[in-house]
């Protein structure tokens, strides 16, 4: 019973500390801030995995499908391939698709009943978005670094899943966001 209460308190603390990427960051984090938060993520990964919220719940088939998708895109644009997929957090998902621009991606950010579309460019193995957010990879975790009130913060996503093969699935819930995604020439499916 005490263990269940402890997990409930931990869950509430994690949810209250989570800062979804829906709001635009004030500025890009600087190199020092990025390095410090990357080290913080590395230290936190064992605790995140033990929390139950960031356990790898993918089936072997999901893992295989997402890996094959990333490998196919690696032949065309190796910089973006590791970032592609549906990355999940406590109450948020990022759908990272290829863009028609080399080194570019399209991002659908879904947080509860809200959504946002934005783009990004991979530089130096980090994904820099037009929202002043930087994403970086560490194993099966995706770190999101943003700056609010001049304070850099880290938000974690984990274990990329396969992306929906069409935008129709998301259109019924987020029509404006999907319309912006399609208007930007984002790519769905395997490379041609």
Q: Domain extents for the chain?
A: 53-192
Q: Is 70 exceeded by the pLDDT of residue 24?
A: yes
Query: Rounded distance, CA 100 to CA 49, Å?
Result: 35
E strand map for 79-170: 85-88, 92-98, 104-111, 114-123, 126-129, 134-138, 141-148, 151-161
* Residue count of the chain: 192
Q: Is 70 exceeded by the pLDDT of residue 16?
A: no
Query: Rounded distance, CA 181 to CA 148, Å?
Result: 26
Contact 29, 134 (CB under 8 A): yes
CATH node for 53-192? 2.40.128
The whole-number pLDDT of residue 23 equals 64
Q: 10: pLDDT confidence band, cut at 50, 70 and 90?
A: very low
Contact 160, 66 (CB under 8 A): yes
């Amino acid at each position: 019973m005490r263990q269940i209460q402890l997990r409930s308190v931990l869950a509430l603390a994690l949810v209250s500390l989570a800062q979804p990427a829906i709001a635009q960051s004030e500025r890009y984090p600087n190199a020092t801030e990025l390095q410090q938060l990357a080290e913080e993520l590395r230290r936190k990964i064992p605790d995140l995995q033990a929390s139950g919220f960031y356990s790898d719940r993918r089936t072997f088939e999901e893992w295989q499908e997402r890996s094959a998708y990333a490998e196919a895109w690696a032949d065309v644009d190796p910089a973006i391939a590791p970032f592609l997929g549906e990355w999940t957090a406590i109450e948020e998902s990022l759908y990272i698709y290829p863009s028609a621009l080399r080194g570019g991606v399209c991002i659908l950010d879904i947080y509860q009943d809200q959504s946002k579309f934005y783009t990004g460019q991979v530089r130096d193995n980090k994904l820099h978005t037009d929202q002043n957010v930087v994403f970086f990879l560490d194993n099966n975790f995706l770190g999101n670094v943003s700056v609010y009130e001049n304070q850099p913060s880290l938000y974690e996503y984990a274990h990329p899943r396969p992306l929906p093969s069409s935008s129709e699935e998301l259109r019924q819930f987020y029509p404006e966001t999907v319309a912006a995604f399609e208007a930007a020439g984002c790519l769905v499916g395997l490379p041609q």
